[in-house]
Structure 1
Amino acid sequence: MLFTDDTDASLQAAVALVNSTDEPGAPLGSVDDLSAFLASWPYTGRHDATPDELESVRRLRPALRSLLLAERDEAAGIVNDMLARAKALPQLQRHDHWDWHLHAVDPDRPLDERVVVETAMAMVDVIRADEMSRLDTCAADDCDDVVLDLSRNRSRRYCSTTCGNREAVAAYRARQRT
């Protein structure tokens, strides 16, 4: 195991948010879609289920993408800035099926603030472990989604099975033509 379970989950949730669209059925397609997304990921605390909350989470995508794809020293600066702006105070918590882990913001704070802080806290582990290479963009020619590679052998290149399959089919067809 490279990172703790809560770090893995926060990173995966952040990547899913960054790669999301506003299309119906996507994690940020509607207030109901955001509620379904939150039921799938470990974000705890307040969820207002309002259009304003949805819009505030949508606005996070560029900043989270910049953090996830930054060079290590730049990422450290971004994390420090995010944590300072949120007045984060790390504390050990245990709830639901999660053993002791860190929360750095009160569960009553707005969802967008909690998402930023939880992503920043997960990135602390990535930066300290010097594992920024675990985050990259999709290797597919027509995709620039973020890829989180938690595999042991660092073999993940595509954001999804769809991109991987599309590239494999294109390579197969190119070989057949020659």
Structure 2
Amino acid sequence: MVFAHDTEMSLQAAAALVNTLEPPPTLDAVTDLTAFFDRFGYTGRHDRTRAELDDVRALRPRLRELLTADRDTAVGIVNDLLAQHQAVPRLVRHAPLDWHLHAVPDDAPLATRIAVETALAMIDVIREDELSRLGVCADDGCEGVVVDLSRNRSKRFCSTTCGNRNAVAAYRARQAAD
């Protein structure tokens, strides 16, 4: 494991959220947000309203900027997000996780909790100088964000779809060369 479980989950959730900007567009319905909430194990307040969905969707460009920033820029964004949301880190424990960090109340809006949890995760990434684990998809037609938590740092594509598309293209190029 490269990072603590909550850090890894927050990074993966942030990338998945940012990647809903990529075609085909997703995260269009409140039910999509509920599926996201459940998939990444969020706890606390979840209003299940269009307003909440709009707030979470509005967060995507800022998270994309954070996940693709250089180290110094990322520090500024992290500090801004933590100050904006008046984050005060505290240790909490709830199933299925052991002790981990939260920095806003459980009843804070979901978009606030996502922003702050991503900022907290990025603190670990920045302190460990591991920003090379974050990047943009290697598929020429995709701008998806990649979080590489593999031991050998080999993840290049944001999704199986992009990876498969490139594998097929490489195969076809080899066949054409023969």
TM-score interval, smaller chain:
over 0.9
In the TM superposition, residue 172 of structure 1 has moved relative to its aligned partner by 1.2
Give matches, 1:59-98, under 5 Å: 59-98=58-97
Instruction: Please tell me the residue identity of whatever aligns with 2:159.
Output: S
Match of 2:19 in 1: 19
Equivalent-residue separation in structure 1 for 2:28 and 2:122 (angstroms): 26
- The 3-state SS of whatever aligns with 1:18 is helix
In the TM superposition, residue 139 of structure 1 has moved relative to its aligned partner by 0.4
In the TM superposition, residue 44 of structure 1 has moved relative to its aligned partner by 1.4
Is 1:177 matched with 2:165? no
Give matches, 1:1-178, under 5 Å: 1-21=1-21, 26=26, 28-178=27-177
| Matched length | 177
Equivalent-residue separation in structure 1 for 2:35 and 2:171 (angstroms): 37
Change in CA separation of 1:22 and 1:160 when aligned onto 2, cut-off 3 Å? closer
Q: TM-score, normalised by structure 2?
A: 0.95
Cα deviation 1:53-95 (Å, max 9, x = unaligned): 0000000010000000000111011000100010000000000
Change in CA separation of 1:176 and 1:24 when aligned onto 2, cut-off 3 Å? closer
In the TM superposition, residue 96 of structure 1 has moved relative to its aligned partner by 1.1
In the TM superposition, residue 21 of structure 1 has moved relative to its aligned partner by 4.2
In the TM superposition, residue 23 of structure 1 has moved relative to its aligned partner by 8.5
Conserved? CA contact 1:22–1:29, under 8 Å: no
Instruction: Please tell me the residue identity of whatever aligns with 1:44.
Output: T
Q: TM-score, normalised by structure 1?
A: 0.95
Higher RCO by CA contacts (8 Å cutoff, separation 6 or greater):
2
Conserved? CA contact 1:23–1:29, under 8 Å: no
Percent identity between the two aligned chains: 63
Instruction: Please tell me the residue identity of whatever aligns with 2:166.
Output: E
Conserved? CA contact 1:45–1:108, under 8 Å: yes
- The 3-state SS of whatever aligns with 1:100 is strand
What is the root-mean-square deviation in Å for CA atoms of aligned residues?
1.6
In the TM superposition, residue 24 of structure 1 has moved relative to its aligned partner by 9.4
Structure 2 regions of 5+ residues with no counterpart? none
Runs of 4+ in structure 1 off by over 4 angstroms are 21-25
Equivalent-residue separation in structure 2 for 1:110 and 1:24 (angstroms): 27
- The 3-state SS of whatever aligns with 1:94 is strand
In the TM superposition, residue 155 of structure 1 has moved relative to its aligned partner by 0.3
Structure 1 regions of 5+ residues with no counterpart? none
Equivalent-residue separation in structure 2 for 1:176 and 1:23 (angstroms): 29
In the TM superposition, residue 42 of structure 1 has moved relative to its aligned partner by 2.4
